[in-house]
């Protein structure tokens, strides 16, 4: 009788065990899937040197906010949502450019920049950009950040096998290095570093109210008529 009861409930026990493991390993993936989507543009423009840059917003916007960011930088993460909101609030007067500037002090920052650029090769740079900042607290402390990046790639609909290959490609590494060289040439040493119409903001302005004040001033300074 006992053996019969054990056989009867064994399938349920196996299912429960598998479900428990799946829940444990999929928490981060669920958190990523439930995040609300931001307004996304896949625009890629060229800078004055002819290099491709990641842009959101109208190309003829009178104000350009250019950020040199590190995906593992907490202040960058805190500003990401505010900048996204400003893109909506100031549309069509604002466009945003993002450049990679991973800092050596952050363990996974360079890897995260490679992940964003690899996603960009499939037309999803901004989706990965937004997700990396939203999930910063998860992957920044993860023992294997690469595994999470691959899960994020799946969440936003990328070909994960290609994503993994692209992360290791010289093309992606060169893209990150080019952004860093450009930032260094402009005097960038820390993140976030933000320029409004080519003019660097002081550290005291690197907050939502400071950014809005700088954008407002740039709009008012534009000639009319």
Q: Which residues contact 142 (CB under 8 A, 6 or more apart)?
A: 108, 148
Could you tell me if residue 177 is inside a domain?
yes
In the predicted model, is pLDDT for residue 136 greater than 60?
yes
Range of the domain at 160: 35-221
Q: Which is more confidently placed, 167 or 25?
A: 167
CATH code for the domain in which residue 70 is found = 3.40.30.10
User: Are the CB atoms for 97 and 193 separated by under 8 Å?
Assistant: no
54-71 per-position pLDDT tens digit: 999 999 999 999 999 999
In angstroms, the CA 127 to CA 42 distance is 9
166-187 per-position pLDDT tens digit: 999 999 999 999 999 999 999 9
Q: Quick one: DSSP state of residue 94?
A: E
Could you tell me if residue 94 is inside a domain?
yes
Residue 225 pLDDT level (bands cut at 50, 70, 90): low
In angstroms, the CA 187 to CA 218 distance is 22
In the predicted model, is pLDDT for residue 7 greater than 70?
no
Could you tell me if residue 74 is inside a domain?
yes
In the predicted model, is pLDDT for residue 49 greater than 80?
no
Could you tell me if residue 60 is inside a domain?
yes
Query: What's the average model confidence in pLDDT over 47-59?
Result: 79
Query: What's the average model confidence in pLDDT over 204-224?
Result: 94
Number of domains into which the chain is organized: 1
Strand partners, 46: 52
């Amino acid at each position: 009788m006992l053996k019969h009861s054990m056989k009867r409930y064994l399938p349920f026990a196996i299912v429960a065990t598998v479900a428990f493991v799946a829940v444990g390993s999929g928490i981060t993936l669920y958190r990523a899937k439930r995040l609300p989507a931001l307004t996304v543009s896949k625009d890629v423009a060229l800078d004055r040197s002819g290099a491709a840059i990641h842009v959101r917003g109208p190309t003829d916007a009178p104000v350009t906010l250019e950020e040199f960011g590190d995906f593992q930088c907490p202040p960058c993460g805190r500003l990401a949502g505010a900048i996204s909101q400003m893109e909506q609030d100031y549309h069509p007067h604002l466009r945003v450019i993002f450049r990679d500037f991973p800092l050596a002090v952050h363990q996974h920052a360079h890897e995260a920049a490679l992940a964003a650029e690899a996603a960009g090769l499939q037309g999803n740079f901004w989706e990965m950009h937004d997700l990396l900042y939203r999930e910063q607290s998860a992957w920044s402390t993860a023992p294997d950040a690469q595994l999470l990046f691959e899960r994020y790639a799946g969440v936003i609909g990328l070909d994960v096998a290609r994503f993994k290959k692209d992360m290791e490609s010289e093309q992606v590494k060169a893209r990150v290095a080019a952004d860093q060289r450009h930032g260094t040439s402009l005097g960038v040493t820390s993140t976030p570093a933000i320029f409004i119409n080519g003019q660097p903001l002081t550290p005291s302005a690197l907050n939502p109210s400071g950014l809005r004040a700088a954008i407002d001033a740039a709009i008012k300074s534009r000639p009319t008529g």
